[in-house]
Amino acid sequence: MTLTLTGLLVNTLKRHSDRIAVQIGSSNWTYAELNLLSTYLAASLQKEGVSHGDCVALYLRNCVEYVIADLAILKPGAVKVPLNEYQSASDLAHILDETEAKTLIAHQTLLSSLDSTISELTKLNLVVCVEEKDQSEIEQVRYWQELTTPADFIAPTISTEDVALISYTGGTTGKPKGVVQTQGSLAITLLSHVVSSELSLDEVMLLTTPLPHSAGYHRQSCLLHGGKNVLIDGFTTEKFFQTVETHGVTWTFLVPTMIYRLLGAHYPHDKSVSTLRTIVYGAAPMSVERLRQAIDLFGMCFIQLYGQTGSPNYITALTREDHANKQLLLSCGKPVAMAQVKTSAEDGVSIGEIIVRTPYLLKEYYRNEEATADTLRDGWLHTGDIGYIDENGYVFLQDRAKDMIISGGMNVYFVEVEQQLKNHPAVADAAVVGLPNEDWGEQVHAVVVASRAIDADSLITHCRERLSKYKVPKSIEFVDDLPHTAYGKIDKKQIKKQRQALSS
C-alpha cells in the first residue's frame, strides 16, 4: 500500500461515515457529508483546469468551508497553499506569485487585502465564499454553488513523493519561505500527531487558532482518528469556556498568550472545564509561574510541543507526567517516537544549535536552493534554536541563534531573561530584545506587560538577584500589549523596529 495523506484521509471519511466530523455552533457535518461535498468541489476544481500538481491557495477563516476545501484540494492531487488572514498584503502577493497558484478559494470579507494582487494575476481562478448565498454582485464562482452542482470526479494516481503542501514561514526576516511537504511526509506526520498528542478515539477537539498553521495538522489528525472538530473563528475567553462546556470538549490547542488570558478571566471554571483532559500548548515559551497557575486551574492535562514548520509539529513533547516534575517545566520535553534530536556541539549534547531528523522533514524550500542547503544538511534539519540536552534526554531551549544578544562579548539568551521577568508576580508577559549600545555592542532591553503596579528599578533588582550581571536588562519599558506575528509568536522584529524608530 502506498502511504499518502490523501489515501489516509479519504479512507477515514469512509470508515467513520456516520460520525460527526465538524461542529460549529449548533451546526454539524458528518464524515460522509464532508466526503460528498469535498468530492463535488474537487470535481469543480478539475473542471476549472486544476490538475495533479497544480497549486490551490486557501484564504479562509476557521470554518467548515476550510475543511471541505482542504479535502477537495487533496483528492485531485493538487498542492495546498494555505494563507493566513493575519499575513500582510505584500506577503500574500509574494506567495500567490511565487507558487503560481491556479485557483484561490477565499472568503469574501478577506478579499479587500488582495484586490490589487488578484487583478494582476490574470490566470488565477477565484472561488468566493460569501456571507449570503444570494449576493449577486459577486461575479466570481460561488463556493456553495460548486457544492450543489453534481459533476464527475476523476481520481488520479497519487504517489508518496508527490508534493501536497507548500506552507510559508512567518517571514520574521525577509520574505516568507515556502516549506515543501510531500504526500508521504504529511501522512507520517499525522500518525506522529495521533501518538504524540495522545489522541483518543472519542476526542472532541476545540481549535481556535488559525487552521493554516499548527491547528490545521491537529485538525487532520483528529479526523484521521475518527474524532470531532469543534471550530471557533477568533478566540475570546468567554467563547472558549462556553464552547468547552456546551460541546463537552476533551482536547484543545492553545498558545501561551491564550492561556494567560484564560487565567485572568472571570468565569465558572470548575464546571466549564470539567471535560478537558488534554491541553496542548506551544509556539512560544511559557512562564513557569503561569504554567503552575494553569495546572492549578485545569489540572494535570498539559502537553507541551516543540516543532517547526520544517518538521511539523512534533520534534519533542513534554508529557502530562513530565509536568508533575517542577524541574522539567523549563524543558520542551524529550524527542517524540519518530524524532532524533542532538545539538551541533561535538558531543551532540552540550549547548549548541538543535538539529533534528524525522521522517516528516520538509523536502525543500520552494525555489530556494540556498535556504534548503543551509537548513537541510546530511538529512538533518538545522532549526536555528540554541539549547542543550540533559542526561535524561530532555531538551532545554535557550534561544534562537539569530536573535541571541552578544553584550560585551558575552552571549545572552532571551529565554532565560524572559523567564525570570515572567516569574515576577507583577509581570503578565515580557519580551527581551537586543538594542545597539556604543559600549556593549548590544544591550539587553525588556518590554513588559504588567499585571499590577511595578517600576523598572524593582524589576531590575529582581533580575539582579537571579541572573548573571551581564544578563540583567539595562532598560525596561512598559506596554499594554506585545505585538504578535500571524502565527501567534511575539514579533520581536516589530518590537526592535519600534524601538529604533523612537530613538532615531
Q: In order of start, what are the domains of the chain with their CATH numbers?
A: 5-20+27-182 (3.40.50.12780), 186-400 (3.40.50.12780), 405-503 (3.30.300.30)
Please state at what angle helix 183-196 crosses helix 5-15, rounded to 10 degrees.
50
- Written as nine digits, the cell of 300 is 494535570
Q: Which residues are CB-contacts of 412 (< 8 A; sequence separation ≥ 6)?
A: 404, 405, 406, 434, 444, 470, 471
Report the alpha-carbon distance of residue 390 to residue 434 in Å, rounded: 28
What is the H or E stretch that residue 357 is in? strand 352-357
Residue pair 362/311 in contact by the 8 Å Cβ criterion = yes
Q: What is the pLDDT along the chain (504 residues), one digit of tens a residue?
A: 689 999 999 999 999 999 999 999 999 999 999 999 999 999 999 998 999 999 999 999 999 999 999 999 999 999 999 998 877 777 888 899 999 999 999 988 888 767 666 666 656 787 878 654 444 343 445 677 777 777 789 999 999 999 999 999 854 445 789 999 999 999 999 999 999 999 998 999 999 988 998 999 999 999 999 999 999 988 899 999 999 999 999 999 998 878 888 887 765 555 678 899 999 998 666 778 888 989 988 999 999 999 999 999 999 999 999 999 988 999 999 999 999 999 999 888 888 999 999 999 999 999 999 999 999 999 999 998 889 999 999 999 887 666 667 776 567 878 778 888 998 999 999 999 888 876 677 789 999 999 899 999 999 999 988 887 878 999 999 999 998 876 567 888 788 878 766 665
Question: Sheet of 364-365: strands edge to edge?
Answer: 141-142, 125-129, 103-107, 55-59, 79-82, 163-168, 178-182, 364-365
What's the burial of 396, exposed, middle or buried (CB within 10 Å: 0-12/13-18/19+)? middle
- Residue 342, SS3 per DSSP: strand
Parallel, antiparallel, or unpaired: how do β-strands 340-343 and 352-357 relate? antiparallel
In this prediction, residue 153 carries a pLDDT of 93
In this prediction, residue 133 carries a pLDDT of 45
Maximum distance among all Cα pairs of the chain, rounded to whole angstroms: 71
Q: Which of 125, 151, 149, 137 is nearest to 56 (CA)?
A: 125
Please state whether the predicted TM-score (pTM) of the whole model is above 0.95: no
In this prediction, residue 142 carries a pLDDT of 66
Report the alpha-carbon distance of residue 498 to residue 482 in Å, rounded: 12
